[in-house]
Amino acid sequence: MPPPLTPAEYYAKHYPYEQLVALLTRNGDDLANCEFAIEGKTSSGDKLYKRYVSARGASELREAVSRFTGVTAFHFGALYDNGVDKKRIQAGESVATRRVLSFDIDLTDLEFLKLKDADGQVSAEMCDKAYPVSAAAAYILRRVLHKAFGYTELLIVYSGRRGVHVHVFDEKAMALSDEARAAVLDFVDCGMQRSDTHAPTGVRLVMNMYGQRKDVYRTFHTHVVGELGLLENGEDRIAFVNRLDLAAYEEYEKYAPTFAPLATDVLKCDTGAEAWKHIEERIHSTGVEWMRERLDCVVLAYVWPRLDAAVTRDIKHLTKVPFSCHAATGRVAAAMGSERKRIFSFKPARDAPSLREWHQPLMHAAVARFRVDAARSTATAATAATAATTATAATTATTATTATPGGGVDMEGVEDMEDVAGAQRRRAGFKRKPSPLATCAPAAGASASHRRPDAPVVRGARQAGQAANPCR
């Protein structure tokens, strides 16, 4: 059996500082302006934490981290315009101006997943079983960020136990204000909360506009229903039917004979897969767009990325560095690549190096992926990146796309060719899809009064008296 490592040994001898520094300075930033924070603990188990740590290079950073008492992890934060001195920062003499745009996908934010062991602790093994759900969320997020904002320079990292972190290193993403970061976040998830039984309508619009229906339903059917057994017991089947809340439809009485016995009927199915097929066929047999939309929104609540708002919207937020070791599992937060095949084929127990059974060749393979994989972009997203920097208010919905009878966007035939064909020329008469940013309200506190003086105003932003936000 390979020998174990202590966290102190890992951070002193094995952590890839050179690769981390190369990423953080790839856009010309001075490492000395980047804030780091270090976690540790005393011999008696008391926690230690130090902020406002700076370093001029990889060797200095290695020394600062490895010498910290009982080091367990370290974090990176904002880039400041006048150094990382606590007194200057608190006096307003050094201001946070840039940071990696980060997203945290955490499986514990999905209430339907059973992730705790008999002792009530989050189990690494149960998280491993549910990993395909976080993989799908990461892939969907990567696709939306690329297609809606033109972001291509992404690093996707396993968190060490419960999920995935997505870091965006595009220059325009690095320079976003808090307000613009919040707008990107609201664009992606429309403020979807942990307790939501179905996703906001705006999430469905984003799914359809960027061709994610196929991935959403494939993930739900294959992983949530199939591998995780969502509908294997009667209680879960009834809960799913209740999520649909079909009685809320204004003409429900007309369809009551079809749907009133649905909860009873699904209990008669032999397997969860059969129960799901029965529900899906029953909904689509009505031909009612409202009901199809409601089914989409319930499925999205199981699959669409649930994101930690603080990680994304706050430019000063401190985030664990890639390749940090997880205190509970001993696993390294390894990079996995950003292509679909790499994200879904990653197996945490197999591919993440572990301090408990150290295997150097596995670490070498993981470090080889510790780089930004620029997605093979198409010209269709080339100028969309400006949406993030100007998104200080919601834009109105547009009808320029092909609409379904219920107001959705018909993308049923769209295939995911990005990872197959790479960049292609635009066809004659090509028109860019309009942004569905209108379907999401701006983050709390985001208003014109808080806009940076140099930030341009969104053209087409919703004015007073226009239609209310359909996301809420």
Q: Write the DSSP string, 115-168.
A: -B-TTSPBPHHHHHHHHHHHHHHHHHHHHHHHHHH---EEEEEE-SSSEEEEEE
Domain-embedded: residue 39: yes
- Separation of alpha carbons 155 and 23, rounded Å: 10
466: confidence class by pLDDT, cuts 50, 70, 90: very low
Q: Which has more confidence, 33 or 469?
A: 33
Looking at residue 375, its pLDDT comes to 52
Rg of the chain over all Cα atoms, to the nearest angstrom:
23
Name the residue type at position 279. I
Residue 56, phi then psi, degrees to nearest 5: -95, -10
Looking at residue 258, its pLDDT comes to 83
Distance from the Cα of residue 271 to its chain's centroid? 31
Looking at residue 145, its pLDDT comes to 96
Domain-embedded: residue 391: no
Q: Is the pLDDT at 468 greater than 50, yes or no?
A: no
Domain-embedded: residue 403: no
Tell me the two tokens of residue 13: 């001898």
> Strand 101-106 to strand 73-80: parallel, antiparallel, or no bridges (unpaired)?
unpaired
Q: SS3 of 198, please? A: coil
C-beta of residue 387 within 8 angstroms of C-beta of residue 437: yes
209: confidence class by pLDDT, cuts 50, 70, 90: very high
Residues 34 and 179 in one domain: yes
Q: SS3 of 224, please? A: helix
Q: Which residue has the tokens 């799901």?
A: 276
Residue 141, phi then psi, degrees to nearest 5: -60, -45
Instruction: Please name the residues in contact with 311: beta carbons below 8 A apart, sequence gap of 6 or more.
Output: 102, 103, 104, 317, 319
- Mean pLDDT, range 197-211, rounded to an integer: 93
Looking at residue 465, its pLDDT comes to 36
Domain-embedded: residue 132: yes
- Mean pLDDT, range 131-136, rounded to an integer: 92
The secondary element (H helix, E strand) that includes residue 238 is helix 234-244
- Mean pLDDT, range 381-404, rounded to an integer: 38
Looking at residue 275, its pLDDT comes to 96
Angle (nearest 5°) at CA 377 between 19 and 393? 95
- Separation of alpha carbons 402 and 410, rounded Å: 6
Q: Which residue has the tokens 């689509």?
A: 284
Distance from the Cα of residue 357 to its chain's centroid? 30
- Separation of alpha carbons 178 and 317, rounded Å: 10
Tell me the two tokens of residue 329: 């599992």
| Mean pLDDT, rounded, of the chain | 82
Residues 234 and 140 in one domain: no
Q: Is the pLDDT at 383 greater than 80, yes or no?
A: no
Tell me the two tokens of residue 431: 């028109």
pTM metric for this prediction: 0.79
Of 353, 374, 395, the domain-final residue: 374
Q: Is the pLDDT at 63 greater than 70, yes or no?
A: yes
Residues 299 and 313 in one domain: no
- Separation of alpha carbons 300 and 291, rounded Å: 14
- Separation of alpha carbons 304 and 306, rounded Å: 6
403: confidence class by pLDDT, cuts 50, 70, 90: very low
- Separation of alpha carbons 328 and 18, rounded Å: 26
Residues 286 and 327 in one domain: no
Quickly list H helices, 150-219: 171-174, 178-189, 201-209, 213-219
Domain-embedded: residue 469: no
Q: Which residue has the tokens 């890639």?
A: 322
118: confidence class by pLDDT, cuts 50, 70, 90: confident
Looking at residue 109, its pLDDT comes to 80
C-beta of residue 183 within 8 angstroms of C-beta of residue 276: no
Instruction: Please name the residues in contact with 354: beta carbons below 8 A apart, sequence gap of 6 or more.
Output: 329, 330, 331, 332
Residue 173: give its domain's CATH number.
3.90.920.10
Tell me the two tokens of residue 324: 């940090």
Looking at residue 205, its pLDDT comes to 95
Tell me the two tokens of residue 25: 């300075």
C-beta of residue 191 within 8 angstroms of C-beta of residue 200: yes
DSSP, res 403 = B
Name the residue type at position 464. A
Residues 105 and 171 in one domain: yes
- Mean pLDDT, range 91-101, rounded to an integer: 97
Residues 284 and 315 in one domain: no
Looking at residue 448, its pLDDT comes to 39
Q: Is the pLDDT at 178 greater than 90, yes or no?
A: yes
User: Closest Cα partner for 4 from 372, 425, 359, 388?
Assistant: 359
Min mean pLDDT across 153-162, 249-258, 311-320 is at 249-258
Domains held by the chain: number: 2
C-beta of residue 209 within 8 angstroms of C-beta of residue 401: yes
> Strand 34-41 to strand 47-53: parallel, antiparallel, or no bridges (unpaired)?
antiparallel
pLDDT above 70 coverage of the chain, percent: 78
Residues 270 and 339 in one domain: no
Q: SS3 of 382, please? A: coil
Looking at residue 374, its pLDDT comes to 64
Domain-embedded: residue 11: yes
Domain-embedded: residue 77: yes
Min mean pLDDT across 2-6, 179-183, 454-458 is at 454-458
Its domain, for residue 292, covers: 201-303
Residues 229 and 350 in one domain: no
- Separation of alpha carbons 55 and 403, rounded Å: 53
Domain-embedded: residue 435: no
Looking at residue 159, its pLDDT comes to 93
Tell me the two tokens of residue 254: 């007309």
Of 340, 374, 408, the domain-final residue: 374
Q: Is the pLDDT at 440 greater than 60, yes or no?
A: no
- Inter-axis angle of helices 234-244 and 272-285, to 10 degrees? 20
Q: Is the pLDDT at 413 greater than 70, yes or no?
A: no
Residues 188 and 227 in one domain: no
Residue 74, strand partner residues:
38
- Mean pLDDT, range 117-141, rounded to an integer: 90
pLDDT above 90 coverage of the chain, percent: 64
Instruction: Please name the residues in contact with 470: beta carbons below 8 A apart, sequence gap of 6 or more.
Output: 200, 201, 202, 397, 439
302: confidence class by pLDDT, cuts 50, 70, 90: very high
> pLDDT of 216-232, one tens digit each?
999 999 999 999 999 99
Residues 357 and 255 in one domain: no
- Mean pLDDT, range 117-121, rounded to an integer: 86
> pLDDT of 421-439, one tens digit each?
333 333 444 444 444 444 4
